Amino acid sequence: MNIKDSLTSAFGQVLFVLIIGFIAYLIKNIYVRFVLKDKEKKLSFVEDLGLSFSKSHFDLTFLYILIGLIIYAIVSTALQITYSLELRSMIMNDSSPYFKILKNGFGANQLLLGLIYCFVQAGASEELLFRGIIGQKLFNKFGKYYGNIIQALLFWLMHLLIFKLVTGYWISFLQLFAFITSFGLGLLMGWVNFRDKKYSIVPSWLVHSLVNFITFLTIAFFM
């Protein structure tokens, strides 16, 4: 895997999600304006995706959450690599994005590839989809409490399918771990976004990307 291909794949995935979001944005606004006859000013496309943010999102509470999740990522990954044959088998698999990067060793090139994957391909695209396009609409429709649960469940279902493709099993210890981690993180990342008056996916993007990157570095240390 080279950096050019990685950047092309990562930004292509983000662009695909943005196109889906823009189509959904247009359909919603056409329906509201011409069917519901509501001509009040609506959110811009950027605001609709949750790409605007305020400094108040990044307070001490956010910092404590970030530090706690980084510690959790290091400890849980290290323990599973050490004691779980299932996890080691999953990591040492050509279907694993981390293994694709790390199979030839770890250096500056792998570090950059890891950053691209964690912050752009996985972090940005998944946050735009689950906490941007899907999440904010669920919060508006069902309220923050139930909307957050639904978007976290959808986030887990994606990881359920990914783990099935990599491991071949629907039910396993890793699938249980995937549920606890992805559903729990999904809830937390939804909460850090809407706890401020101005909804934003930037806090969850930072949390998601850093947790992924710390996991990547921990795997690289043990390989």
8 A C-beta contact, residue 127 and residue 221: no
Q: What are 64-69's contacts with CB under 8 Å, separation 24+?
A: 65/188, 65/192, 65/207, 66/206, 66/207, 66/210, 69/185, 69/188, 69/207, 69/210, 69/211
* Closest C-alpha among 206, 182, 216 to residue 58: 206
DSSP 199: -
pLDDT, tens digit, 9 for 90 and up, residues 132-174: 999 988 988 898 899 999 999 999 999 888 888 777 778 887 8
Helix segments in 31-59, DSSP class H: 45-49
Please work out, in degrees rounded to the nearest 5, the angle formed at the alpha carbon of residue 64 by the alpha carbons of 58 and 65: 85
Domain that holds residue 116: 3-222
Count of other CB atoms within 10 angstroms of residue 53: 17
pLDDT, tens digit, 9 for 90 and up, residues 86-136: 888 888 877 788 989 998 889 999 999 999 999 999 999 999 999 999 998
| Signed CA dihedral, 158, 152, 201, 203: sign only | negative
Q: What is the pLDDT at residue 41?
A: 65
Count of other CB atoms within 10 angstroms of residue 186: 27
Count of other CB atoms within 10 angstroms of residue 95: 12
pLDDT, tens digit, 9 for 90 and up, residues 21-42: 999 999 888 887 777 676 666 7
Model pTM? 0.91
Q: What is the percent of the chain with per-residue pLDDT over 70, rounded to a whole number?
A: 97
Q: What is the pLDDT at residue 40?
A: 66
6: pLDDT strictly greater than 80: yes
Q: List CB contacts of 214: < 8 A, sequence separation 6 or more.
A: 70, 73, 74
pLDDT, tens digit, 9 for 90 and up, residues 39-54: 666 778 888 899 988 8
Number of domains in the chain: 1
The span from the CA of 56 to the CA of 200, in Å, is: 11
The span from the CA of 121 to the CA of 119, in Å, is: 6
DSSP 42: -
